[in-house]
């Protein structure tokens, strides 16, 4: 087995951003250079980078790249241009709240940079640019520490029996979806490192197959025992007693605990409920959107029909039929055992205790 690849999906290198191109995994490990904010917009839209926390980090660096390109010599004009850059990045993926949170953090940073004593506009703009880079770098570093904490908090609330657990996850909420380590897969990693994981079952996650392509790839890199199943095998595996708990990520959590995650998560939660299997959501606190009272208010991204009607270059259905391709669904709070964040794990109706 070859040495594991260090999984850092978004990182700064010299004067540009490097992304792991997740559209080519697992067959090819390719690094993409991002030097302009428009390239970052395209990378997020095309899912070269994906996963709510990783999208937020990528957008933060995208804000800095855009700030470098602004030609304004007046700081107010500079801030106005930065707002336009923010709007372009916000439009890329409407469901992942971490994207909006990170962009807002960057805009706040820019607005709070004090004017130099001589109020020289060019110097002021340069100071804002520096502050934006530092803020993006800090968001990336903080996310890694957040994921490590989520892993430990999740380990603490996993079922005590059996000693070695069989866990099931959906989509990819791992290192590839964050600054490293992962949220749901961070819990899995912590269980593995603590000797408490017997096996991970990974849903393939149609239609883009993030579970098959990405989660299994991550596990292979670190020797974590993983078994790939199709999405419609989960109920069978639970019925056969092969699953002790389910751990998934989240793209947005409403104030009442309703959770948007990759399409198929809701049905998985229903199946877990039917088999009395605990169902955990692992996500950073930045994924909680207290401005939304419940999940009905979460915007659900719809993606291109081509994700449904073909796999690779192979068409799998007749032409000229209708398609419906929501990328996410919403799991009601009453199906969730606990929401695991860096600040602790609580029942969905106790989110206010950790927000």
Question: So which residues are the catalytic ones?
Answer: 251
Label residues 98-133 b or e (16+ Cβ within 10 Å = b): bbbbbbebbbebbeebeeeeeeebeebbebbbebbb
Q: Rounded to an integer, what distance in angstroms lies between the CA atom of residue 171 and that of residue 203?
A: 7
Q: Rounded to an integer, what distance in angstroms lies between the CA atom of residue 103 and that of residue 44?
A: 14
| Crossing angle of helices 52-69 and 37-45, rounded to 10° | 160
Report phi then psi at 13, rounded to 5. -140, 110
Q: Rounded to an integer, what distance in angstroms lies between the CA atom of residue 85 and that of residue 316?
A: 38
How would you class 181 by CB atoms within 10 Å of its CB: exposed for 0-12, middle for 13-18, buried for 19 or more? buried
Is the CB of residue 101 less than 8 Å from the CB of residue 56? yes
């Amino acid at each position: 087995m070859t040495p594991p690849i260090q999984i850092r999906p978004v990182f700064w290198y010299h004067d540009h951003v490097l992304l792991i191109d997740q559209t080519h995994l697992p067959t090819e490990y390719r690094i993409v250079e991002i030097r302009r904010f428009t390239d970052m917009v395209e990378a997020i839209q095309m899912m070269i980078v994906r996963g709510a926390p990783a999208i937020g980090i990528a957008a933060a660096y995208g804000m800095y790249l855009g700030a470098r390109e602004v030609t304004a010599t007046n700081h107010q004009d500079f801030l106005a241009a930065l707002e336009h850059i923010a709007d372009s990045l916000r439009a890329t993926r409407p469901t992942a709240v971490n994207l909006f949170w990170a962009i807002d953090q960057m805009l706040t940073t820019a607005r709070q940079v004090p004017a130099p004593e001589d109020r020289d506009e060019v110097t002021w703009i340069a100071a804002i640019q520096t502050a934006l880079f530092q803020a993006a770098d800090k968001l990336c570093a903080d996310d890694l520490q957040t994921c490590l904490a989520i892993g430990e908090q999740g380990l603490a609330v996993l079922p005590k029996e059996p000693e070695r657990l069989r866990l099931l996850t959906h989509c990819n909420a791992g290192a590839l979806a964050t600054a490293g380590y992962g949220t749901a897969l961070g819990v899995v990693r912590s269980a593995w490192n603590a000797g408490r994981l017997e096996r991970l079952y990974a849903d393939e996650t149609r239609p883009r197959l993030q579970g098959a392509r990405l989660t299994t790839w991550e596990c292979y890199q670190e020797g974590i025992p993983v078994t790939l199943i199709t999405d419609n095998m989960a109920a069978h595996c639970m019925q056969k007693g092969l699953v002790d708990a389910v751990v998934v990520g989240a793209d947005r959590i409403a104030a009442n605990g309703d959770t948007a995650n990759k399409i198929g998560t809701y049905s998985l939660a229903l199946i877990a409920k039917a088999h009395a299997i605990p169902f955990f959501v692992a996500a950073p606190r930045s994924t909680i959107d207290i401005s939304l009272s419940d999940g009905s208010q979460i915007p659900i991204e719809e993606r291109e029909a081509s994700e449904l009607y073909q796999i690779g270059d192979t068409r799998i259905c007749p032409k000229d039929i209708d398609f419906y391709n929501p990328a996410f669904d919403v799991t009601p709070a009453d199906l969730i055992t606990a929401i695991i964040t860096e600040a602790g794990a609580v029942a969905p109706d106790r989110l206010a205790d950790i927000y």
